[in-house]
Amino acid sequence: MSELRFEGATVRFGSRRHGHVAVDDVDLVVPSGTVVGLVGESGSGKSTLARAAVGLAPLTAGRVLADGRPVPRHGRRPVQMVFQDPFASLDPRMTVGESVAEAIPRGFPGGRAGGASRRAEASRLAGLVGLPDGVVDSYPARLSGGQRQRVALARALAGRPQVIIADEITSALDVSTQGAVLNVVRDLQRELRLSMLFISHNLAVVRYVSDVVAVMRAGQIVECGPAERVLAAPGHEYTRELLAAVPRPGSVLTAED
């Protein structure tokens, strides 16, 4: 895994006179092998920054680098994104195995044309994210929300990315399922040393998985630092407001899905 870096990233929608700046001159680094939690209220610009990293929201200014190189808009993507709604991002006509195998680049294990090798690699990735045996033959509609989100994670890993961006991947799940998916994220990070930008409006969720916490407000990063420091002694009033809204311990469970 590699470093993801935003340098002066700015995203403006509309004209210069009547437009809206969603991301305003953001500098942010996701160090190699680190989970950076990006937190802020809805509308703060978090998801727009994520979409800019994968080319879905064009930059007005600045740049996004993966391991020191500009992130390409075409070809194999070094940055893969997992979206909030996995059902919308998975083709309902394809089995789990087909969806995951489709994302494997040629030249990588399982990426050759042979169906058997692709299926085997899809099964391996499904097991890596904690899905049960045989799930590769199931369709998304037959899976739970937590299982579909794990499929989306497996599909992102299939692309052999340098960095993964997880955008509000637990916000649509019930509390116990949130815990199960967060456990998968933590286990994957420990096993694979993932570089990940983990986006959430919930500081309790960010606290559970992140090494570094960045706080975003009105399109700008207002605070960033080691998770222990930011959460124990926040330096910005907005961070303190977010912390005051965090539910009591136990609200994010670690139950199995």
Rounded Cα–Cα distance for residues 146 and 229 (Å): 31
- Greater confidence (16 vs 112) lies with 16
Query: Residue 212: its pLDDT value, please?
Result: 97
Query: Residue 123: its pLDDT value, please?
Result: 94
Rounded Cα–Cα distance for residues 109 and 106 (Å): 8
Please give the model's pTM, rounded to 2 decimal places: 0.89
Rounded Cα–Cα distance for residues 154 and 158 (Å): 6
Question: Is the per-residue pLDDT at 247 higher than 90?
Answer: no
Query: Residue 111: its pLDDT value, please?
Result: 54
Question: Is the per-residue pLDDT at 250 higher than 70?
Answer: no
Please, which residues have CB within 8 angstroms of residue 247's CB and are 6 or more apart in sequence?
A: 204
* DSSP E strand boundaries for the chain: 4-13, 20-30, 35-39, 61-66, 69-70, 79-82, 163-167, 196-200, 212-217, 220-226
Question: Is the per-residue pLDDT at 9 higher than 80?
Answer: yes
Going from N- to C-terminal start, the domains of the chain cover 82-160
Rounded Cα–Cα distance for residues 149 and 86 (Å): 5
Q: Mean per-residue pLDDT for 204-225?
A: 95
- Greater confidence (44 vs 17) lies with 44
Rounded Cα–Cα distance for residues 184 and 92 (Å): 23
Rounded Cα–Cα distance for residues 99 and 220 (Å): 36
- Residue range 136-195, pLDDT digits in tens: 999 999 999 999 999 999 999 999 999 999 999 998 888 888 999 999 999 998 899 989
Q: Mean per-residue pLDDT for 86-97?
A: 90
Report yes or no: 112 and 106 within 8 Å, Cβ to Cβ: yes
- Using CA atoms, how far residue 122 sits from 26, 103, 113, in Å, is 36, 10, 13
% the chain with pLDDT above 70: 92
- Greater confidence (85 vs 40) lies with 40
Among 26, 62, 72, residue whose Cα is nearest residue 197 = 26
- Residue range 99-111, pLDDT digits in tens: 999 999 877 655 5
Question: Is the per-residue pLDDT at 113 higher than 90?
Answer: no
Question: Is the per-residue pLDDT at 15 higher than 50?
Answer: yes
Q: Mean per-residue pLDDT for 223-252?
A: 85
- Using CA atoms, how far residue 123 sits from 110, 127, 184, 238, in Å, is 10, 6, 16, 44
Query: Residue 103: its pLDDT value, please?
Result: 92
Q: Give me the chain's average pLDDT, please.
A: 89
